[in-house]
Amino acid sequence: MSTTQKSGDNKKDVLNRLHYAEGHLKAVGKMVEKGSYCLDIINQNHAVIEALKKINQMILNGHLGICAWDAMHSKNSSKRKQAIAELMNLYAKQ
């Protein structure tokens, strides 16, 4: 079960942040269409990137507090190993 399924508050917060990021991304598209100054477009892109980073941080925080915590306290050793492997794979992508 995903974190957002277990935590309605987290889901609402994540969705709010996604809408915020979507607004920034639409603004970038409009800036490109109207031929805005390149560095202004890049600055707007940074806002999108930072918003997405914040969303990932919120989701990971929920995952660690619920899903990973449950797996680490499980009597099933394969669940514990899988939780660690998933986090290591995620870390390796960064």
Question: Which domains does the chain possess?
Answer: 3-93 (1.20.58.1000)
Residue with tokens 């969303």: 55
8 A C-beta contact, residue 79 and residue 71:
yes
Of the two residues 73 and 2, the one the predictor is more confident about is: 73
Which structure tokens are listed for 86?
Answer: 């998933």
Taking only the tens place, the pLDDT of each residue in 10-69 is: 889 999 999 999 999 999 999 999 999 999 999 999 999 999 999 999 998 888 888 888
Contacts within 8 Å (CB) and 24+ apart, 13-16 = 13/58, 14/55, 14/58, 14/59
Exposed/middle/buried for 8, CB within 10 Å: 0-12, 13-18, 19+? exposed
15: CB partners within 8 A, 6+ apart: none
Which structure tokens are listed for 85?
Answer: 């492997």
